[in-house]
Structure 1
Amino acid sequence: MKKISTKIAAFILIAIFICACNVVKRVPDGKQLLTKNQIIVNEKATTAENVFNQLYQKPNSTLLLGFRLRLHLYNLANLNPDSTYQAKFRNHPGKYERKSKWLSAKQVDKLGKSFWYHGIHDFLEKTGEAPVLIDSSKTEKSILRLKYYYFNNGFFNVNATYKVDTISLKKAKIKYAISTGKPYMLDTIQTAIATPVLDSLYETIKSKSVIKSGNQYKTIDFDEEKNRITTHFRNNGAYYFQPTYINFDIDTIQKGDKANVNVIINNYSFQDKDSTRTEPFKLYKISDVNIYTDYSPNNSNLKITDSTTFKNFNLYSQKKLKYKPYAITDAIFITKGGLFADNKTVLTTRYLNNLKIFNYPSVQYEIDTRDTTYSSLIAKIYLTPRKKYSFGASFDVTHSNIQDIGIAFSPSLSIRNVFNGAETLELSGRANIGSSKDLANPNNQFFNVSEYGVDLKLNVPRIFMPFSTEKIIKKSMIPSTLMAIGFSRQTNIGLDKENLTGAFTYNWTPKKNNTARFDLFNAQFVQNLNPQNYFNVYGSSYKALNEIGKTFNTEPSYFNNTTDRDLIIENGTSGFINDVLSGKTALTVSDKEYAAVKSIEERRLRLTENDFILATSYTFTKTTKTDLLDNTFYLFKTKIESAGTLLTLISNTTNQVENKNGNFELFNIEYSEYIKTEFDYIKHWDLTKEKVFAVRTFFGIAIPFGNSNYVPFSRSYFSGGSNDNRAWQPYSLGPGRSGAKDDFNEANMKIALSSEFRFKLLGDLKGALFADAGNIWNVYDNVIDEKSTFSGFKSLKDIALGTGFGLRYDLNFFVIRFDFGFKTYNPANEPGKKWFREYNLGHSVLNFGINYPF
């Protein structure tokens, strides 16, 4: 293995050396390859990205250690493959005729367009990067841009020059020298506002001005101040106001390095016949709000046949009005008698669009001619309904932590405005077949997982409660209520399950980029259909029990035969466990084998008994991400969930009888009772040049109490997988340093820390270096194994570390991801063998995922 690795490394080094020797292959005589830009500011070199972004010419892109891979690929390409192909026949007379005898002439011509002769060179040229040649005209433009950059940052006396330093015959670098001089500072700030009402409005926000005395001059601050003033005016009635009415008079004459600023806001100017007139700005009020509920953009002739007025809103329809008035007016923030405001217009269109029963709405304003002062506006809101019924279907190929591959089909039916209150009812089904190597598969079937289910969801665009919540959750927070019920049946050549769920959820946005979710209740009933198959599914548990049975079992009928002496599933395994726990074998409570059998039985009961969970939870999310291209942001998410507490309160109040285990039951099932909390924080830094550094921290804990001494499997945590610690397979890390002795290892506490450095390789192909740390532990539950339990800060030494590298290919609408994870620190190994003992390809884990892990 070492010899092969050495040969590969040597081959790569030789290839790099050969390419490096030919770096100026495409550089014409008399031209020079730009190898480096150097910028000296006030006799000191700078690496500021904002400064380098001003340059028109930048050297060819590099990978690690400055290797210009794309330039080398371009140099390998034949830029004229057609001419080269034809030259083969010109230089060898008769060759074309000979080839045409056993291939047709058409095929010989087509061969010249093949991948080997043409396609490979097209690929190299497209994927590669042409050499960047020094162009004096572009260098001069760079000088101008550098001057503008520093001028816009207050250096009004900036001077910039450049020099080309020749490195070799066809290589050179450019050295830019910049002398900024002293920056100009803002001195006195004055205003000259022609319209009195605008002057009064300005005084209310003057203290929050972006341009302040003592600040260094920056053009961007003046642009921001202009937008700030305009936004304030237009949100307070100044309908005709635009940023162009704001000017800044900056006086630097005989001021040294000081600048006086005069903020000038002129009167409103408009065209009156052949002349331009000016007059003071007016603050406009809304005289009417007219809503057209079935407007068609293809037919502008509105023939109103039905109308109504509700809370000062006028609703019109060309046919019979199909909506309860409040369903629409609750989404409108433009009010009769109120001032015109841009922010209310935006909020209205956002809320109406969020109803999902109309196409994107149109809001228009016109002068109300009934007002002789001409200071009133009629707001006209045009709504185009979507189709009442819509059908959809999706076909997906999926990959998850359990399924290696899955094929899913999901049909759906949506009914809009189902109760005339802008509600949306959605009925959807799903069918899935998949393949998983993690599940028992005695018949060696490729598709060994299947699931089908149906879901019914009703979305109400308001808080659905018998009393008003406007004072707590205002309608500007765009609240909604989701009521859902679902059923699914899962067959996985194992326990098989039926899952019945129900939820009543409130959603709203307290502030921009903040979301809140409150589950009034979230119910789940899980029934295991095939619990007797437990030891076929969980092979590690069977192996451990079987080894003990071979030594201590005395009942021959429990074995398959007298030679192998393997416990029969289910009669042999259950019989032996009962004999051990009832004292019918030689094992006693003090024996470690007795404790092992007891632990195996407790886990079997935990994973095979039916579960009923009735939970209430609150989730809050905050992010600074503005769009998909934003690479500098953070996301914080927290959740708190409580399950079973209400049921216990009812049981105690109504004097319900406890079962033999001392627990309460509902529908003959011991319901789960626990409290759970999670914290998730993600932070991205844009390092420029398409390099991003990202980190994620996660902490979660679920504590059982009252009616439970453990957390249900569906609410517990696992570690490993493509979105977790990528050096371990899903469910194969932890708990603690136990060594993942079970088939599906889970626990009720988790810590996860990840970091990733992302960079561009070739075109849409990107690379990443990552490190993942974390583990799961049992705490405050019925697990007593000290290797699996968290016992304070000393247990943090059980945090596992995985490192590796990955490849990502960006398809615009999603990213395909491959990650290679290596076990750097494995807490399950013996002391002295925890670090780098499994750091090789044989123990690596290949993860496939869609989109980035965090």
Structure 2
Amino acid sequence: MNELLRRLLPLLATAVLAGGCSMTRQLKDGELLHYETQLELNTPLEGKAARRLESELSVIPRPEPLPKRQKWRVSLYNRLTRKPQKEKGFRHWLQTKVARPPVLYQADRIERSRLALLKRLYDEGFFHAEVAYDTLSRGRKVWVRYEIGTGQPYRLRQIEGPEDSLPLAQRLEVSQENSFLQPGQAYSQSDLAAERQRLADLANDLGYFKVRKNHFYFFVDTALGSNEADLYWRLNVGDDSTILQTYYHRNDWIYADHRLDRPADAESLDTVAFGPRYFLQSRQIVRPGLLNRVFREEAQLRYSRQRQEALLSRLQDLGIYRFINLQVQTGQDGEDAWLDRRFLLTPGFMQDVLAEFQSHTRSGSYLGLGASLTYAHKNAFRGAERFDLSLSGGVETQLNNPGELINTVDLSA
């Protein structure tokens, strides 16, 4: 430790005392050091709201130079790189873990940062925001200052859905009381994204298997004045009419002992059928009746994302499967749309054995030895029953007692 400090302290002291001049010493011709980034925020927000916005904006500009109290790390980097470095050793550790290379000024990155700041403000409803930047050069150092004017944030006046007669649109319109978008709240792009996902999830729960969040879009009318906006959501499915169909379960194929290195070939497996469900195993890992109880859905039931996720959760709760993969195939018989599912269930390790040994001493020259054995089986009777067995034992003797070798014996199960 003393040797480490002896080598480290001179380098750190030199880096700190050298100051700013050593930060630019290793720059090439035409290169400038991005020394500091400043944000000047002009917003009608006050208190916590203003501080939160400033904190969110401060992490956007790139590149990000080190704060003033850490500038010495750049000086240290320049000092260490004067000589060729080995790929290991103390100096290499110091250069890669403690020191930091200088951040170069790049005008194109400053412009991209300005656009990123502007986009973030638009996403938060500041539709009249303006972002400009200015630079100050002293020698080979550059200070960058962003001047940000937010204007008043917009709030939602009303939210309206489609005016068409699509059954899906009408059913989704009824659910607006649970929407992430409500009149009077501030406009936020994150709320719009959450609402798109909510609409897609709700459509899936109503049987519309192919509906995804990218089928929903919004447009905003800000021509009202008074910093209010009307929001309209629409459903766009293109030319694919199957997206607007409700799907019903037809058949389920459950491969109860699927292996990742073996294809799911139904012809080579034993099959047990319970109505539209087919349980396939090369060897009986679990009783088909148990799995059939896990699949509570009835035949011809309409697809539901929420119900399917609950089914996958119940399969996981059995505790015997390491991987659960689901494959879905869709089709159509006339006007009826159906889907078949294949559940590929890969068992994990069923048994676990743990052995422990210990020794102890106590006053009076007593010496003890003990051992324990624990056995666990996650599927003892092929019904996902857990069986646990623990055995332990120990002996104790007194070393200075030649009469009896063993004084105490303890066995437990």
Q: Tell me which interval the TM-score lies in, with the shorter structure as reference length.
A: 0.7 to 0.9
User: What does residue 16 of structure 2 align with?
Assistant: 17
Alignment correspondent of 1:178: 148
Q: 1 CA distance for matches of 2:10 and 2:90? A: 22
The partner residue of 2:139 within 165, 169, 181 is: 169
**Does residue 77 of the first structure (1) align with residue 80 of the second (2)?**
yes
1:197 aligned residue: 167
Q: Look up the SS of the partner of 1:41 in the other structure.
A: strand
Paired residues of 1:186 and 1:260 also in contact (CA < 8 A): yes
Asked which structure has the greater CA Rg, the reply is 1
1:268·1:280 contact (CA, 8 Å) conserved in 2? Answer: no
2: CA distance, partners of 1:114 / 1:281: 61
Q: Tell me if the contact between 1:36 and 1:174 (Cα under 8 Å) persists in the aligned partners.
A: yes
Alignment match, 2:198: 228
**Residue 38 of structure 2 aligns with which residue?**
38
Residues of 2 paired with 1:368 and 1:74: CA distance? 64
Equivalence map 1:369-388=2 (5 Å): 369=332, 371-385=333-347
Aligned amino acid, residue 171 of structure 1: K
Q: Deviations over 1:650-689 (max 9, x none)?
A: xxxxxxxxxxxxxxxxxxxxxxxxxxxxxxxxxxxxxxxx
Structure 1: gaps (5+ residues): 1-6, 83-112, 271-277, 387-413, 415-423, 465-479, 490-497, 499-527, 534-568, 571-608, 614-854
> 1:98 maps to which residue?
none
- Could you tell me which of 199, 223, 228 is aligned with 1:253? 223
Counterpart residue identity of residue 340, structure 2 = I
**Which letter does structure 2 place at the counterpart of 1:238?**
Y
1:158 corresponds to which letter in structure 2?
A
- Given that 2:369 and 2:396 are in contact with CA atoms closer than 8 Å, whether structure 1 keeps it comes out as no
Asked if 2 retains the 8 angstrom alpha-carbon contact of 1:282 and 1:375, the reply is yes
Determine the structure 2 residue equivalent to 1:146: 117
Whose relative contact order is higher, 1 or 2, with alpha carbons under 8 Å and at least 6 apart?
2
The 8 Å contact of residues 307 and 314 in structure 1, kept in 2 or not, is answered as: yes
Q: Does the residue aligned with 1:55 lie in a helix, a strand or coil? A: coil
Q: Does 1:314 align with 2:278?
A: yes
After TM superposition, give the deviation of residue 144 of structure 1 in Å.
0.7
Partner of 1:289: 252
Question: CA–CA distance in 2 between the matches of 1:267 and 1:260?
Answer: 23
In the alignment, which of 337, 349, 353 is matched to residue 427 of structure 1? 353
- 1:456 pairs with 2:370: no
Structure 2: how far apart are the matches of 1:114 and 1:254? 64
Q: Match for 1:485 among 363, 385, 389?
A: 389
The TM-score with structure 1 as length reference comes to 0.40
Q: Structure 1 residues 207, 315: CA separation in 2 closer, same or farther (over 3 Å shift)?
A: same
Secondary structure class of the residue paired with 1:34: strand
| 1:246 partner letter | F
Alignment partners' CA distance in 2, 1:32 and 1:138:
14
Q: Residues 432 and 137 of structure 1: is their aligned pair in 2 closer, same or farther, counting only changes over 3 Å? A: farther
The 3 A distance-change label for structure 1 pair 461 and 380 is farther
- Amino acid in structure 2 at the alignment position of 1:381: F
Residue 302 in structure 1 maps to residue 266 in structure 2: yes
| Closer, same or farther: CA 334–290 of 1 in aligned 2, 3 Å | farther
The alpha-carbon deviation at position 307 of structure 1 amounts to 2.3
> TM-score normalised to the size of structure 2?
0.77
Q: Give the direction of change, closer, same or farther, for the CA distance of 1:311–1:14 in structure 2 (3 Å limit).
A: same
Deviations 1:681-700 (A, max 9, x none): xxxxxxxxxxxxxxxxxxxx
Q: CA deviation at 1:171?
A: 3.1
1:336–1:226 distance in 2 versus 1, CA, 3 Å: same
Alpha-carbon distance in structure 1 between the residues aligned to 2:369 and 2:17: 54
Q: Letter of the aligned partner of 1:227 in structure 2?
A: Q
Distance 1:451 1:24, change over 3 A: farther
- Structure 1 256/309 Cα, relative in aligned 2: closer, same or farther at 3 Å? same
Query: Alignment partner of 2:301: what SS?
Result: coil
The whole-number CA distance in structure 2 between the counterparts of 1:365 and 1:207 is 32
Distance 1:440 1:161, change over 3 A: farther
Change in Cα spacing, 1:333 to 1:79, as seen in structure 2 (3 Å) is farther
Greater per-residue helix proportion: 2
- Structure 1: distance between partners of 2:328 and 2:129: 48
* TM superposition shift of 1:269: 3.1
- 3-state SS in 1 of match to 2:267: coil
Paired position in structure 1 for 2:404: none
**Displacement of 1:481:** 6.5
1:24 shift after superposition: 3.2
1:629 paired residue number: none
CA change 1:114–1:37 in 2 (3 A) is closer
Q: 1:19 to 1:453 in 2, by over 3 A?
A: farther
Distance in structure 1 (CA, Å) of the matches to 2:155 and 2:286: 60
Counterpart mapping for 1:539-688 below 5 A: none
Amino acid at match of 2:16: F
Separation of aligned partners in 2, 1:335 and 1:268? 33
**1:308, distance to aligned residue in structure 2 (A):** 2.1
SS at match of 2:336: coil
Task: Identify the residue that residue 598 of structure 1 maps to in structure 2.
Answer: none
- Paired with 1:114 and 1:296, the residues of 2 have a C-alpha distance of 44
Whole-angstrom CA distance in 2 between matches of 1:296 and 1:483 = 24
CA distance 1:12–1:71, change in 2 (3 Å)? closer
Shift of 1:483: 4.5
CA contact (8 A) 2:211 2:243 kept: no
Q: Could you say what secondary structure the match of 2:303 adopts?
A: coil
SS in 2 for 1:303: helix
Identity across matched positions, percent: 18
Structure 2 residue runs of 5 or longer lacking an equivalent are: 1-5, 45-49, 402-407
CA displacement, residues 448-477 of structure 1 (integer Å, 9 cap, x when unaligned):
997642101233599x9xxxxxxxxxxxxx
CA distance in 2: counterparts of 1:330 and 1:453, whole angstroms? 38
- How far apart, CA to CA, are the structure 2 residues paired with 1:451 and 1:18? 63
| Deviation by residue 1:69-99 (Cα, 9 ceiling, x = unmatched) | 54244223236628xxxxxxxxxxxxxxxxx
Deviations 1:329-379 (A, max 9, x none): 34445542322122333343444345454452332233355x432222222
* Mapping of residues 277-426 of structure 1, within 5 Å: 278=241, 281-295=244-258, 298-299=262-263, 301-304=265-268, 306-310=270-274, 313-317=277-281, 319=282, 321-332=284-295, 334-355=297-318, 357-367=320-330, 369=332, 371-385=333-347, 424-426=350-352
Task: Say if 1:430 and 1:454, in contact at 8 Å, map to a contact too.
Answer: yes
* Separation in 2, partners of 1:322, 1:192: 51
Task: Give the deviation of 1:310 after TM superposition.
Answer: 3.5
Equivalent position SS for 2:373: strand
1:222 shift after superposition: 0.7
1:265 counterpart residue number: 235
Partner of 1:159: 130
Residues 367 and 170 (structure 1), Cα distance of their counterparts in 2 relative to 1, 3 Å cut: closer
* Separation (CA, whole Å) in 2 of partners of 1:441 and 1:12: 55
Measure the CA separation in 1 of the matches of 2:156 and 2:64.
35
Tell me, in whole angstroms, the C-alpha distance in 2 between the residues paired with 1:483 and 1:305. Answer: 28
Contact 2:15 2:73 in 1 (8 A): no
Please tell me whether the aligned partners of residues 162 and 174 of structure 1 are also in contact (alpha carbons under 8 angstroms).
yes
Distance in 1, matches of 2:250 and 2:355, equals: 49
RMSD between aligned residues: 4.3
